[in-house]
Structure 1
């Protein structure tokens, strides 16, 4: 009887493994087709992306991986999307986490500005010393936590017009960060193609809203004067 039970358990495990592999292959095929339609490229794995940033959700845990990598252009900028995975804990407390990363390339390096929805995570960050920048819009202060490596730049980028944009329904609840030569956003879970377009649009709106003087201060002119 025990032998039969072990055989059944083993057969169930093998069946689950086969189904899992089939579903993953089907998902990869869907991503390739999606990329081909819009002129992007697709790679199943790219280990170089695990070091894209040192800030959340990067830089913690072990067994870090970047999979389901989509690359192309959006709003005339290099763009990419991928699933970032990492593990925490050990033994029975071991957990695997996933985040969908969406990013647009910037034309020059900018100081870090991180905007995250207010909530438990933001409040915990404040307790360990993270400074939450405050703005004239109380609605914005209640909706978001803002941290910046250069507070002057943070206030310049998050001007009233951009704050108003970030209070619109498609922007609320999204976390994003200007991080060196990228602006990226992250959300819990694996890549969601249905949300990719709207998240790219939000990042592009933020980039377009950055004042010219901020770009100029960091060596880039978004509208150079034509030479005769």
Structure 2
């Protein structure tokens, strides 16, 4: 026991910790205030919590991939040479700070990275080397050459001072890795503005390569019809889903075109249920409590522009045969062992699941799916852009292998999907 009636060592320790915490908090707040003031003193706008829509229209990685699309620390302004810019942290880039500058017109994709720099996920048909050992990736070699003729000099000058990680993304020049310090950022932006200015001033040379303007939404790399929404709860009024429970909502929604007149949607449906359970407390008394359970299901659905008999291709299941009736058998035993097939019109099932079709589905390892009421529902293995792409590719091959007489019987004069002589899928261009 301590004497003198003074505060105990524990109290003193707690007071010291509180004082240290307060001092750290004040230091962080003052530093943050100075940072924001330095940004705004330059005439720039600062938003500590920007909406994801600041990345609308950007699809070249780190944009346009996956569902990790958070943004932070948004700065908008104009360089000392008069070039507009925005800078923000982007979650899919590992929270790296990305600069975007307009270049005057939408142009083909080009990615230029210096030594040690990469843009994960970029797929390019043409590769080349930059002076000094960097990598140049492009979709159109003629444009890539024209771009280097215009911007190669200022880009090399920028790369001599800073790590080069640059891309032409629609009508924007993007550069990953901007510094946060306002003084360093200002010099960085001035150097990058030289590249943007060179492209902006070369309109006549680059005009032959002009592209369609990018859609101002969160898109997907190399999938122009796809777009992303963090949530779209209105889907629950039009898409069949598990009912009951409460707090129904959606997440990671992907919309897009399957083929002409056909659209797909993929999302995760979340909801909660509650139950009351009885338990015995520590005193031996019986008590009740409410337990809330969280549930989710992945929904991938395609809307078709034509009607057809129903068809279900599910994984082979003894319980399925018990409750849903026998499966339709086909010539290939391995297919019968792997899948159960049902249809209210067995002839239709045999017409579309002919031997070459079955060989195709077995080779691709098709996911289970069903056709009913003008919609296709798959049983997704997971909810990712890659899983959606796989499912759509399998279904495209499936419909492209329907015989011509099936389409005629359905009243479809021209099949929306067909196979070319070399086995490629051809989409009807209306």
Q: Normalized against structure 2, the TM-score is what?
A: 0.39
- 2:233–2:250 Cα contact (<8 Å) kept: yes
Task: Give me the CA root mean square deviation.
Answer: 3.2
Query: Using the alignment, how far apart are the partners of 1:113 and 1:100 within structure 2?
Result: 18
Alpha-carbon offset, residue 114 of structure 1 = 0.9
Q: Aligned residue pairs: how many?
A: 190
Answer yes or no: is 1:82 the counterpart of 2:266.
yes
Paired residue secondary structure (2:365): coil
Is 2:41 aligned against 1:41? no
Question: What is the CA deviation profile of residues 140-183 of structure 1, one whole-angstrom value per residue up to 9, with x for unaligned ones?
Answer: 10111111121111111111011000111x324x1111223233
Q: Quick check: 125-134 or 196-205, which moved more?
A: 125-134
Q: Secondary structure at the match of 2:265?
A: strand
CA contact (8 A) 1:73 1:79 kept: yes
Cα separation, 2, equivalents of 1:66 and 1:205: 29
Q: Aligned match of 1:171 in 348, 365, 384?
A: 365
The answer to whether the 8 Å contact 2:370/2:377 transfers is: yes
Partner of residue 210 from structure 1, selected from 378, 402, 406: 402
Task: Work out the CA distance in 1 between the residues paired with 2:325 and 2:352.
Answer: 19
> What secondary structure does 1:145 align onto?
strand
Aligned match of 1:136 in 323, 331, 335? 331
In structure 2, what is the equivalent of residue 72 of structure 1?
256
Give distance in 2, aligned partners of 1:188 and 1:87: 20
Other-structure match for 1:184: 377
Asked if residue 199 in structure 1 is aligned to residue 398 in structure 2, the reply is: no
Higher RCO (CA-CA < 8 Å; seq separation 6+): 1
1:11-26 map, 5 Å: none
Instruction: Determine the C-alpha separation between the residues in 1 that align with 2:405 and 2:228.
Output: 36
In the alignment, the residues of structure 2 paired with residue 65 and residue 213 of structure 1 have an alpha-carbon distance, to the nearest angstrom, of 42
1:94–1:129 Cα change, 3 Å: same
Check conservation: 1:69, 1:82, Cα contact below 8 A: yes
Structure 1 gaps, min length 5: 1-21
Deviations 1:174-211 (A, max 9, x none): 1111223233312254x211222221100111111122
Deviation string 1:45-79 (CA, Å, 9 cap, x unpaired) is: 143356435xxxx4565455544322222444533
Alpha-carbon distance between aligned partners in 2 of 1:138 and 1:90, rounded to the nearest angstrom: 45
Alignment-derived partner of residue 27 in structure 1? 68
Rg bigger for which structure? 2
Greater shift, 201-210 or 25-34, is seen at: 25-34
Q: Which has the higher helix share?
A: 1
Query: Contact 1:62 / 1:86 at 8 angstroms: preserved in 2?
Result: no
Any conservation in 2 of the 1:60–1:86 contact (CA below 8 Å)? no
2: CA distance, partners of 1:204 / 1:163: 14
